[in-house]
Structure 1
Amino acid sequence: MMTAIEVHPVKLGIANAYIVRQEGAIIVDTGDPGNEEAILDAAKGRGIRPKDVRLILLTHGHGDHAGSARGLRERTGAPVAVHRDDAEKLRYGNQGKLRPACLTGRILGPLFGGKKARYPPLDPEIVMGESFDLRPYGVDGTVVPTPGHTPGSVSVILAGGDVIVGDLIFSSIPAEKPCLPFWADDIGAVRESIALIRKRQPRTVYTGHGGPFPGKAIEGL
C-alpha cells in the first residue's frame, strides 16, 4: 500500500507551484523565470533534495507557470512534461497572446504580456496526450486534459481526492472565491473542463493563483 499523498503549495508572488510527494516527489508548475531557488528551498524544507524530484509537470505553457522549468530541470535532472497542445510554447519560450475572458482580464492583461510572455525555452522530454499516469514517478495520480484556458491545459487528479487545476479556475478579486479564468482561449471548453473536474467530486481544488478551495466551492461554476 502506498503512503498518503502530500500536496505542498509554494507561493511565488501571485502564482502557485506545488510539491507533490508520496513514494516519489514531483513538482507541478514552476512560476516565473528565476523562481527555481524558491521552489527548491521549499522542497528542502520538506526533506526533498533536488535529486529526489522525479518529474516537473506543467499544467500549461504560460510564463508564470513554465518560466522556471528549464532552471529546475538543470538543478534536478528531472524530465519536464507538458501537453502536446502547449509544447510549442515551451520550445519557443513564448506563451503567446492572452485572450481576456472578462473585464478583469482586459485590465490586467498588460501586466502579464510583453516581456512577461517570454521565458527560457526548452524542449520537453515528455509530451502528454489524452492522459498520463503518475505512478511510475511515485505518485498515485493521473494527468487529464482540461483545455480552455489554453489548448494544452491539464489537471492533476490525485488518488486521495485532491486536484491541481492550474489556471482552469481562478481566484476572484477581491473576494478570493473560485471563478472562471480571467483569460481563456475557449471559454466554452473551460466550462466543459470544470464540469469534468466537478464529476470527480474533488476534496480540495488547488489553483494556479489563490486557493486552495474545498471541492464543493466549485459547484456553481
Structure 2
Amino acid sequence: MDEIITLNLGFTRVFLLKTDFGFIQIDAGLKYTSRRYFRLLKRRRINQEDIKLIVVTHAHSDHVGALKKIKTASNAKVLIHEKDRDALVRGIQAEIVPITLVGKCFKNIIPKRMHLYDPVEPDIVINNEYSLLEFGINAKVVHTPGHTSGTISVIDGNGNAFIGFTAHGYPQKLTPESPAMAVDLDAVFSSWELLIKEGVKKLHPAHGKPFSVEVIKIILEKKDRERIS
C-alpha cells in the first residue's frame, strides 16, 4: 500500500499517511463530501477505525466540514493549532481575508450554509512544533501561519509537506502560487521560507496538484529582487 494516499473530494484533497499503527489523516473536506470520503475509504479497503489521528491544517469549512462525522466513525484524535481552536469548537470559520480578485469573488459567491459545520472539540492543541513519532511515523507538524493565524503543515521524513492552503497548485491557477485568501501574506511567505529551511522537496496542497518546492523558491527569489530594485 502507498505511504501517501490522496482522497480527491472535489474541491478539497484529503491525505492519508501510512503509519505503523494505521493512518494519519490531513484535513476532512466539506460537510457534504463525507459520503464520498467513506466510499473512497471502502474502495481502498481501509477501515474507518484505522484512522488514528486527523490533523486539521486550519479551521475553514472546506477542511473541517466532515470532521465531526469522520471523528465519530473512526474515534480518531483531532489535532489543531491553538490559534484556530476557538473556531473549531464553535463550528465557525476562522477569519477569511481575500487578497486577490479571485479570492474576493469566491468569498462573495459561497453560500452562507457552506460556512457552517458541526463543532468539534480537539484532542491535541499545539502551539509549537509537534512530533508524530508516537503515532508511528517519522513526521512532524509545524506552524505555517498566513492563510489563517493557526495554519499548520505536516512534514514527513521523505521531504513531503502537506500544507493545506499555504499555497495551491494546478488547476487552481496556471501556476502554483500563494493562496487567494490570507490574513497575513507576509506570514505566508515566511512560512514558505520555513518549509524550504526544513528541507521540503514536494508540496501537497489541499487545493490543486502537488508541485516541487523549487516553484516557491523562484517566487521568493523574484520578490527579493523586486524589493531590492
**TM-score of the aligned structures, taking structure 1 as reference length:** 0.91
Matches within 5 A, 1:154-173: 154-171=152-169
* Identical pairs, percent: 29
> Structure 1 residues 79 and 149, CA, compared in 2 at 3 Å: closer, same or farther?
same
- Measured in 1, the distance between the counterparts of 2:172 and 2:88 equals 32
Aligned 8 A contact 2:84 2:94 in 1: no
| Matching of residues 130-141 of structure 1 within 5 Å | 130-141=128-139
Gaps of 5+ in 2: 220-229
Q: How does 1:67-146 map to 2 (within 5 A)?
A: 67-112=65-110, 114-146=112-144
Task: Quote the residue 1:11 is aligned against.
Answer: 8
Q: Which moved more, 1:93-102 or 1:111-120?
A: 111-120
Query: 1:11-65 CA deviation, whole Å, 9 max, x = no partner?
Result: 1112111111131311100001132332233333333211111101100000000
SS of the counterpart of 1:121?
A: coil
Q: Residue 180 of structure 1 corresponds to which residue in structure 2?
A: 178
Residue matched to 2:209: 211
Instruction: Report the count of equivalent residues.
Output: 218
Alpha-carbon distance in structure 2 between the residues aligned to 1:11 and 1:118: 21
Q: How does 1:50-69 map to 2 (within 5 A)?
A: 50-69=48-67
Q: Using structure 2 for the length normalisation, give the TM-score.
A: 0.88
8 Å contact kept, 2:97–2:181? yes
Farther-moved stretch of structure 1 (192-201 vs 32-41): 32-41
User: Which ranges in structure 1 are unaligned for 5 or more consecutive residues?
Assistant: none
Give the letter aligned to residue 44 of structure 1: K
Aligned AA (1:211): K
> Which of 179, 191, 194 is the equivalent residue of 2:192?
194
Cα distance in 1 for residues equivalent to 2:174 and 2:14: 18
Pair 130,137 (structure 1): closer, same or farther in 2 beyond 3 Å:
same
Q: Which one of the candidate residues 145, 148, 163 is aligned to 1:147?
A: 145
Q: 2:39 matched to which residue of 1?
A: 41
Structure 1 pair 6–112 and aligned structure 2 pair: CA distance change class (3 A): farther
Q: Which residue identity lines up with residue 113 of structure 2 in the other structure?
A: K
Question: Could you tell which deviates more after superposition, 100-109 or 72-81?
Answer: 100-109
| Greater per-residue helix proportion | 2
Pair 1:110–1:197, CA change in 2 (3 A): same
